[in-house]
Structure 1
Amino acid sequence: MNQTEPLWTKDFVLLAFSNFFLFVGFQMLIPTLPLFVTERGGDQLAVGLVVSLFTVSALIVRPFAGKALDSVGRRPVLLVGLALFLLCVAGYYWMATVALVLGLRFVHGIGWGIATTTFGTIASDLIPAARRGEGMGYFGMFSSLAMALGPLVGLWLAQSFGFGWLFLISSVLTALAMLLSKPVKMAAPAGAGRRQPETKRSGLVEQKALFPSLLVLFLGVTYGGIVSFITLFGQEAGIGNVGLFFLFNALSLMLIRPVAGKLFDRKGHLWVLLPGGIVMAAGLLILSYSTTSFGLIAAAILFGSGFGAVQPSLQAWTIHRVSPERRGAANGTFFSAFDLGIGAGAMLLGAVAKAIGFALMYRCSVIVILLYLIIYLAYVIKERRRHSRLQPGSS
């Protein structure tokens, strides 16, 4: 494989910007939809359901989206996902009751699950195999930039011009994502025309993607604890502007992804997944002891750097492990595991925080990363022993 194969093709650039605009529109709603639900008379339970319903529906649909990508094709599945997403964003303003908002939020999660699984699969098609880690890193960098900009823009729009303008701009960005994706050349499903027996389970879940998906589930648990409780932790610790965590976390994600991707391509997954996990654990530990903005920023930089290195590398590793005709199912399996981790982390770590407080909860979440490291290192040792036994002349 030629390391100089072009990465920044017209199709890759269009897809990356299409994904960027979708993510900006999505990130604009993360800090503002809870405010919208509260304005409609919702309580804390309703605000919690805004997150959980969205996550559950995305989790449910991803395996089916992955199978459809491998059987129906990339373009029609992407169109369905983006259209659902657009209709839901545009429809929020007209939902007069909390129940209607939550119902639309469930459908919104379906559109998000389909669209993001498809974007990841198309990106893996377009990126040269020899540069997959680097390519997925750059592709994820656009999402990280959206993560940094979207919440700030969303809050500014909602507070300055109202929710009508918020939903309108988010809808326009989603429509722009659809337009930019239209000229992208998308591969036909590699398994098209092949009739091969498969069980219902093997069609929805790609078994070769299960181990990287298990590892990303652990990452999702810690990430769920951060996005769900960092604001409440800031109140407990007496830290004023916890928004600094999201800003520096997103900037770290954006900067580290291309570097870690190149390292993954040249040295292999061990050089990224092991140090990345250690850096994430250090970030969580520093976060748990933080009482000032300086500590919060240091924790954000470390956690963001570790997470930004590990998550896209795990996805690239997942794609490496499967055949082209199973990339859709592999991405569906991978993202479903991440969604499951976020949901489980919000629930389990929330129960821990209720019992011992948020600072100790983040200290406990370091254990989750330690489990990730132990399981990954056990896999590496097992694979090296198996490889050495297969070498000629080995005893």
Structure 2
Amino acid sequence: MEKDIQKDKVLWTKNFVIINIINLLIFFGFQMLLPTLPIYAKKLGGTNSVIGLVTGAFVVSSVIIRPISGLLLDKLGRQKVFLVGLFIFIVSVFSYSLVPFISAIIMIRFIHGFGWGAVSTASNTIASDNIPKDRFGEGMGYFSLTSSLAMAVAPTIGLFVISKYNFQILFLVSTLLAVLGGIVAFKLEYKKIENKEQTKTKASLYEKVSINPSIIVFFITITYGALTSFLPLYASQKGIENIGVFFTVYAISLFISRPIFGKIIDKLGFDYAIIPGFICVIISMALLSEASNISMFLISAFIYGIGFGATQSSLQTMAMTGVAPSRLGAANATFFTAFDCGVGLGAVILGVVSANVGYAQMYLWASGSAIIAFILYFIIGRKRKLQCKTLKL
């Protein structure tokens, strides 16, 4: 049901609580599959290159659908895009257990990316609709905690399920979580996009005022692509087992830092969150390149969580600030398209680098992308920051 949402300074409204619960459920089901689908593909006879296609197909489709979803969110409304995306997501996850063939898994993964790209863009837009402008940084920090919590717990649970039961149970649990999220979604009140708002803004797949912070986040997420793709291989090379704890520490660090930096953005401004964040990401990559034991890996994980939490939430806030309500969908799509591209291209580019110089040197190279993001912030990011300050948002 679409309604006019009251704009006030109350953050924890019924609507905001509900969208946080929904995001947690959907993200939990999504994160359970990240470390387990490659194992499933391997079990079905997939080679390493084919397993790469399983990941690549998902990234390609999610990048394709995000700008289209953003446009539709602003033209058709939040509810239709959100529920259709969720339906595709649910059907895709359930379908993994029906066709145990590697070629079918790649096709389903491609369709799954469409559902994930649409539903995640919509959920971020719905959250944006329900956060007071003067508490936007804080609100997005709390909203991001749901994904951080899922990131910390869900992969471990997914691996536990396939070790104790089987992949069919895993797919069923993931499906049920998404279905539960869909049921809760019927309690949401969606922002109504007025016709007069739509006529004030030109229809476009991308939001112009969100481009600068999106470019910067692209270079930051290259480092995240390096972590998700190559860290287990790097740790194995160093003789370190159970490296999954790295991502747990990283997620805990995100969980702690995001709300803190959100409040800092609202009270002191972007510099006080983004600059320390960049420094932390650079340091963490440099430490990782020199890591020789589990302690160094975990220190790097904690520092990276602080840095990534500060920069990602700050840049997302910057991308949303000053955007017309009828363009929030496009703004979220612009930001997360750049986010996905950074992760995907980071894995590809740094994979080539690692083949030539090794994993340790690759992470030192990855710190270079964070340095580029740091420089770009002072060239194009601060210009956007001054626009936000002028708008007093």
* TM tier, smaller: over 0.9
Letter of the 1:181 counterpart: A
Letter in 2 for 1:170: S
Q: Which residue of the partner structure matches residue 176 of structure 1?
A: 180
Q: Offset of 1:220 from its aligned partner?
A: 1.5
Structure 1 position 314, deviation (Å): 1.0
Q: Is the Cα–Cα contact under 8 Å of residues 197 and 325 in structure 2 kept in the other structure?
A: no
Aligned residue in 1 for 2:141: 137
Q: What is the rounded CA distance, in whole Å, between the counterparts of 1:175 and 1:169 in structure 2?
A: 10
Does the residue aligned with 2:321 lie in a helix, a strand or coil?
helix
Distance in 1, matches of 2:13 and 2:200, equals 34
Query: Which one of 5, 18, 23 corresponds to residue 22 of structure 2?
Result: 18
Tell me which moved more, 4-13 or 343-352: 4-13
Alignment CA distance shift 1:372-1:163 (3 Å): same
In structure 2, the residue matched to 1:337 is 338
Q: Residue 348 of structure 1: CA displacement? A: 0.3
How far, CA to CA, are the matches of 2:12 and 2:74 in structure 1?
A: 25
Answer yes or no: is 1:7 the counterpart of 2:11: yes
Tell me if the contact between 2:15 and 2:188 (Cα under 8 Å) persists in the aligned partners: yes
2:79 is aligned with 1:78: no
Partner of 1:393: none
Name stretches of at least 5 consecutive residues in structure 2 with no aligned partner: 1-6
Could you tell me whether the CA contact under 8 Å between 2:57 and 2:113 is conserved in 1?
A: yes
**One-letter amino acid matched to 2:117:** G
Distance in 2 separating the partners of 1:191 and 1:364: 49
Match of 2:3 in 1: none
**Candidates 84, 87, 91, aligned match of 2:95:** 91
The aligned counterpart of 1:262 is 263
Cα 1:84–1:380 change in 2 (3 A) is closer
Aligned-residue CA RMSD (Å): 1.9
Residue in 2 that maps onto 1:359:
360
Instruction: Mark the runs of 5 or more structure 1 residues left unpaired by the alignment.
Output: 391-395
Q: What is the CA deviation profile of residues 154-178 of structure 1, one whole-angstrom value per residue up to 9, with x for unaligned ones?
A: 0011110101110010001000111
Distance 1:230 1:41 in 2: 23
Whether the 8 Å contact between 1:190 and 1:324 is mirrored in structure 2 is no
Q: TM-score, normalised by structure 1?
A: 0.93
The alignment-based identity, stated in percent, is: 39
Match of 2:46 among 37, 42, 46: 42
1:117 match: 121
Matching residue's letter, 2:159 = L
Q: Residue 92 of structure 1 contacts residue 101 of structure 1 at CA under 8 Å; is this kept in 2?
A: yes
Q: Following the alignment from structure 1 to structure 2, what is the Cα–Cα distance between the partners of residues 310 and 323?
A: 23
Tell me whether 1:377 sits opposite 2:381 in the alignment: no
2:386 and 2:143 map into 1 onto residues whose CA distance is: 34
What is the CA distance between 1:384 and its match in structure 2?
A: 9.1
Q: Which amino acid aligns with 2:99?
A: M
Aligned to 2:169: 165
Q: 104, 108, 111: which is aligned to 1:100?
A: 104
1:30 is aligned to 34
Runs of 4 or more above 6 Å deviation = 383-387
String of CA shifts for 1:340-361, please: whole Å, max 9, x gaps: 1111100000000000000000
**TM-score, normalisation: structure 2:** 0.94
Partner residue, 2:68? 64
After superposition, the C-alpha distances for 1:241-272 in whole angstroms (9 at most, x for unaligned) are 21121110011111111000000111111111
What letter is aligned with 2:229?
S
C-alpha spacing 1:290/1:328, structure 2 compared with 1 (3 Å): same
Q: Which residue pairs with 2:4 in the alignment?
A: none
In structure 1, the partner of 2:286 is 285
Tell me, yes or no, if the aligned pair for 1:19 and 1:143 is still in contact at 8 Å: yes
User: Residues 99-154 of structure 1, C-alpha deviation per residue, up to 9 Å, x if partnerless?
Assistant: 00100000000000000000000000001101000000000011100001110110
Change (3 A) 1:121 1:101: same
Secondary structure (helix, strand or coil) at the match of 1:302 reads helix
- Structure 2 CA distance for aligned equivalents of residues 205 and 4 of structure 1: 28
After the TM superposition, which residues 159-308 of structure 1 pair with which residues of structure 2 at under 5 Å, given as runs? 159-191=163-195, 194-195=198-199, 198=202, 203-308=204-309
| Structure 2 Cα separation of the partners of residues 339 and 193 of structure 1 | 29
Superposed displacement of residue 237, structure 1: 2.1
- Counterpart residue identity of residue 327, structure 1: L
Length, aligned pairs only: 383
Letter in 2 for 1:152: T
Residues 328 and 381 of structure 1: is their aligned pair in 2 closer, same or farther, counting only changes over 3 Å?
closer
Task: Report the Cα offset of residue 377 of structure 1.
Answer: 1.5
1:156 matched residue in structure 2: 160
Distance 1:75 1:385 in 2: 34
What's the offset of the Cα at 1:378?
2.3
Deviation at 1:386, TM superposition (A): 10
Partner-residue secondary structure (3-state), 2:187: coil
Conserved? CA contact 2:71–2:329, under 8 Å: yes
- Residue in 1 aligned with 2:348? 347
Distance 1:194 1:286 in 2: 48
| Distance of 1:196 and 1:281 partners within structure 2 | 41
* Deviations, residues 297-353 of structure 1 (Å, cap 9, x unaligned): 000000011101111121111110311111000100100000111111000000000
Offset from partner CA, 1:179-204 (integer Å, 9 cap, x none):
11211111012456744684xxx610
Q: CA deviation at 1:276?
A: 0.4
